[in-house]
Structure 1
């Protein structure tokens, strides 16, 4: 084990005699940063050099998300040769061993990553890992702090500006996010995270046609993306069509040919596809356009009734709950709900209590029990408190729309108007919000105001895709 040191693509030392091992590690880095679908390439590293600490611990981290029993031998191998590892490998071992621990404290995990990045600031994969953790913690502020920590030394690097742009847009700094996204796109036009960040900005600004044209031009580079990134980018395109009041056939075609089509690939990850598919259909339903999709929701609900797709992500779980309850699969929905409540009971903190209430809400909403659904969601609902489900602001918007819909369906138009006006302060170019305002005003007998809101909605609809 006195083998030579090689340098990885960051320039950090890794003890291995195997060029193939080093190549697998570097290929894995590239797959992670580019949202590639071949992250399993890291498994070639310990095959090429069973004594490489970095190859083993990275393989263990990769396997933990799917099969922790397969990860343990790699952890033990890394531990066995740790005394001969480089300082970088030892630091990575400590961070990743804690990261895969079942008793992990997320705040401490972020702190450990921050320390790692102080010592090894060129390691953009560790930055990415930490940012994903921050996302599921609902902490874009921490995510931004991490990327700013390493930005000075990585100012001209590929992928860094997409990682800068996302927390900026999550913090509402859209101009800064656009600037960062454009810089990332200039460095690498195929960087999916920079593309994605720019789409977020254009979409938020109601530049729907610009967003669609930009993303459809980028789509030529998406074939090699993971199931999630591929279908999520198309989800954004479909949503821009939907929000800009394009013909519903545009939205349906993307659902059929760009999202569900992914399931035909032998290496597809169905859960990642279903997250975007069900999320899109919920948007369509809230807007009263589900009839244009025929029996697609029923077919989708039948697929996600498979318990193999449950308890993977909070966000997917609550979307599945809605799909199952709406299509009459009440027994399955109740089984899922019980499982979620049990898990939330173990994690007795405010955020998980809120998640349990949101789950109950989506279950009741799907059944058409609007009074009970609103009771669980609460009359002071604010989507920003639900980032812990693992959703961006754009993904959370649908729950705000559900909230407003529930207020209207339970005869609370004044309260609904408050929610609508709050949304309009941020995105006054969304026709659907003006339609909701028109409906609420009619319920209050304000015909003249309703007419002006309806006119505004029609003007916006005509401005985007006609």
Structure 2
């Protein structure tokens, strides 16, 4: 039996096929119900290899250490079953990611996509790994290699366009990225990633009113989406740049953090927004305490340095010294492992954590020294240009508060020229 793209599915029956195709279609739009559909497909056919594979990916792409045992169990079930070549290569990529080999996992998916260009799961998982490892070029080129094999007649075309749009944006091709992203959303309005790609373009070009209109004008991304919090965060950024702090705080207390999310990807947005507000002198009240409490479960993970940095902000700003201690110990252990996060942590993660702590404690000169040493390599530990802009914002604020006025002037000039270049790109 074959999937919607004509690829053979091992251990599949008719009911499982329908449910798996449904789960994959939901995942293309980053809908929260993709997990339930995947589990239903496995109930219909426990021998469905791609069902176990998708289940593992859905857990692993959250970047949390707590998800690894669940993903490992799914992987083991897939390994115990007969597999075809495509399925076996997915299994290999999953094994590598569980072992902390983020880059090797992405490379395995890269080669898989070359041979199976309509395998959207491999394209999506690989695209996410490029994002987590800060590889802007591969965010674009992984998709560019497959795009000529796609057309509007192929199910999921919108998702390929949406991923390509984000890759174009992250490599500075804003005009092309915006056009492709808008086309993707016109094909599938609830494609949250495509919506997000255009949001990035508008953010990077400082198009505030257009950005607000874009996010407010399409309610489809707001419902049942794994990316909803992040897209609300993008909307809040526009209001932040307009100094409309009341609206930003209302968005924070509502769709960004009002549900008290516990997912790392959502807590990153919460930490980032509170930190940006504080940089602008806004009193955020006791909001840090709740965010820190929800980060606490991941303090000892040492799984992904980008998460550690954002957790450290919350711990430092809420005075949770014991959690900072746990995080530092976890980073020490992570730095000694033989995996990719060891490099993420050693090069960027540990200095960034200490810079955040130094800033929170008022040691602004120390913060400047730490940030200047790592900011040009910060892409190594992942995230987007918009997310990592927090580093430059913090550096400018720390330089100003430590009376390094020449550095402040230089950094502001650099920033203003870049903004002008982006506005016409």
TM-score, normalised relative to structure 1: 0.81
Higher CA-based Rg = 1
Partner of 2:346: 352
Distance 1:269 1:360, change over 3 A: closer
* Structure 2: gaps (5+ residues): none
Between the aligned partners of 1:319 and 1:35, the Cα distance in structure 2 is 23
Runs of 5+ in structure 1 lacking a partner?
Answer: 1-5, 431-466
1:21 CA drift (Å): 1.3
> What SS class does the counterpart of residue 324 from structure 2 fall into?
helix
Q: How do 1:65-76 residues align onto structure 2 when only pairs under 5 Å count?
A: 66-72=66-72, 74-76=74-76
User: C-alpha distance in 2, partners of 1:50/1:211?
Assistant: 45
What is the Cα deviation at residue 98 of structure 1? 3.4
**TM superposition shift of 1:80:** 4.0
- Bigger relative contact order, structure 1 or 2 (CA pairs below 8 A, ≥6 apart): 2
Of 113, 116, 119, the residue aligned with 1:117 is: 113
User: Is 1:49 aligned to 2:45, yes or no?
Assistant: yes
1:224 shift after superposition: 1.2
Q: Is residue 333 of structure 2 the alignment partner of residue 342 of structure 1?
A: yes
8 Å contact from structure 1 (residues 98, 104) kept in 2: no
Q: Distance in 2 between matches of 1:169 and 1:361?
A: 28
CA shift, 1:244, in A, is 2.1
- 1:147 deviates by 0.5
- 1: CA distance, partners of 2:421 / 2:360: 28
1:129 match: 125
| 1:243 aligns with one of 241, 251, 258 | 241
1:296 and 2:267 aligned: no
**How many Å apart are 1:74 and its aligned residue?**
4.3
Pick from 25, 31, 41 the counterpart of residue 30 of structure 1: 25
Q: Secondary structure at the match of 2:206?
A: coil
Residues 128-153 of structure 1, C-alpha deviation per residue, up to 9 Å, x if partnerless? 10111111222121222110111011
1:369 matched to which residue of 2?
A: 363
Residues 340-365 of structure 1 deviation map (CA, whole Å, 9 limit, x = unaligned): 23312435547732321111111111
Residue 353 of structure 1 aligns to a residue whose secondary structure is helix
The 1:144–1:273 alpha-carbon spacing in structure 2 relative to 1, beyond 3 Å, is closer
Give the counterpart of 1:19 among 14, 31, 52.
14
CA 1:341–1:421 in structure 2 vs 1: closer, same or farther (change >3 Å)?
farther
CA shift, 1:310, in A, is 5.0
Equivalent residue for 2:413? 421
Alpha-carbon offset, residue 258 of structure 1: 1.3
Structure 1 segment 200-239 matched on structure 2, within 5 A = 200-226=200-226, 229-239=227-237
Higher mean alpha-carbon deviation, 160-169 vs 51-60, is at: 51-60
Q: 1:351, 1:388 within 8 Å by CA — same for their partners in 2?
A: no
Alignment coverage as a number of residue pairs: 409
The structure-2 alpha-carbon separation of the partners of 1:258 and 1:312, relative to structure 1 and needing over 3 Å to count, comes to farther
Q: CA offsets per residue over residues 136-188 of structure 1, 9 Å max, x none?
A: 22212122211011101113222111100111111111112112112212222
Shift of 1:237: 0.6
**RMSD across aligned C-alpha pairs, in angstroms?**
2.5
Q: Is the contact between residue 206 and residue 429 of structure 1 (CA under 8 Å) also seen in structure 2?
A: no
Q: Distance in 1 between matches of 2:203 and 2:312?
A: 27
Q: Secondary structure at the match of 1:13?
A: coil
CA drift of 1:76 comes to 4.3
In structure 2, what is the Cα distance between the partners aligned to 1:300 and 1:419?
Answer: 31
Equivalence for 1:286: 279
- Could you say what secondary structure the match of 1:127 adopts? helix
CA distance 1:424–1:351, shift in 2 (3 Å): farther
* C-alpha deviation, 1:16, in angstroms: 4.0
Secondary structure of residue in 2 paired with 1:135: helix
| TM-score normalised by L of structure 2 | 0.88
Aligned to 1:161: 161
After superposition, what is the alpha-carbon deviation per residue over 1:406-460, rounded to whole angstroms, capped at 9, x for unaligned? Answer: 1112221111211111111122599xxxxxxxxxxxxxxxxxxxxxxxxxxxxxx
| Equivalent pair of 2:308/2:349 in contact (CA under 8 Å) | no
| SS of the residue 1:158 aligns to | helix
Change (3 A) 1:44 1:362: same
